Chain A
Amino acid sequence: MIRFASVFKEYPRTGLALSDVSFTVQKGEFVFLTGPSGAGKSTILKLIYLDEFPSKGDVWIAGARSRQVKRREVPLLRRKLGVVFQDFRLLDDRTVEANVGFALEVTGVPRDRIPPKVSRLLTQVGLASKATAYPRELSGGEQQRVAIARALVNDPMVLVADEPTGNLDERATRSVFQLLRDINALGTAVIMATHDLDVVRRADLRVLEINRGQVAFDSADDSRAGTRDAS
């Protein structure tokens, strides 16, 4: 479903951010992306949601090959993905339901189909009671749930989360993580970059460790899994 094939990514001023990265994410998988700051985790996620393109190698997303994707096809591919960030990125001047509805509106969903879908999504993330609140009236964890609801509007096949719990305390972290697992259980693949090794350790899920722009460790890769277990 998502495949990196010998991907290199070079930025104009900072140089090589990824070198020879290869991995595959299957349908419905949950993958942690870990590694030190500056390792290239966000870069990998940007390549997945087509905000960046490889300098060399190929990224395959839902059957589309990055080097063949035309500019005007990017929006349509993005509708197959959901994206969540550390800083939520909600619109402050709109209510919770308007924030979620906005994503439906701008992707051309008919007006009458929007309210039922919004309330379904808010129920799914446990925020039905806060539909008419503004983002500043919510806790960080709640705001991230709104962002997750928004990421789910297009029924994505994969949810891409860049440190979704980076701004949250431990309780909020746990509940947001649980929400991501619930979403994953319904069949959506989740790729989550995180620094929170507690969360990673407690959950028995696939870990892809990035270091200096390379895959240092992949728990799905049997040949290297052993070294990790020993450490």
Chain B
Amino acid sequence: MLFGIEWDTSSNLAFAISILPILLIGMWVTIQATVLGFFIAIVLGLVLAALKSVPLKIVSWPAYAITEFIRDTPLLIQLFFLYYVLPEYGLVFPAFLTGALALGIQYSAYTSEVYRAGIEAVAKGQHEAARALNFKSLRTFTHVVLPQAVPRIIPAMGNYLVSIMKDVPVLSVVTVLEMLNVAQIIGDRTFNYLIPLSMVGGLYLIMTLVASSAVRYLDMNLPKRGLPLK
């Protein structure tokens, strides 16, 4: 029994059917962690990218250093750090939040590079026109650069969404009951790993296919308005 739901081991089919609701609860946690982690990644990544584009080295250099540090260390270390070290300093987050935060921070390093490439692809003349019209630099960034960068970066961001989804099982090491963790608990208790793990694989396939087609739909339906897309 898990989450108050009993399983039926009388046959493989009955077992599969009985554990499906349990796995779906785990899947819901996986989806929530993905969405929250992705949200953190795209916001934090944008901040990092904006800092990196500042011409002052005192501002841009730390942003580069942070990105490089995050990229060159494993997700698991960051996760352990947030989960075990921060509480020593009085910062205690629930496991789920800690996990989503770790995912978000890890992927912000990647998304910031995507933003940066997208931002750098905006023609120099656009900055000059904005300057000639006396826009402030923040407005140039939000009203001229970003709207032109975003359509270019959606496919790459979509790939990271799927990657985050596939990294969520890492959170099981800090007790988050995401889908794979749930499947493993079921396996431990019933000595049947084959069926829950296969089902997790199948459910993952469905989730990633849905996510990537949603991204492709968005990409195809976003107005490109003559932007030169590579």
Chain A partners chain B: no
Chain A residues close to B by CB (< 8 Å): none
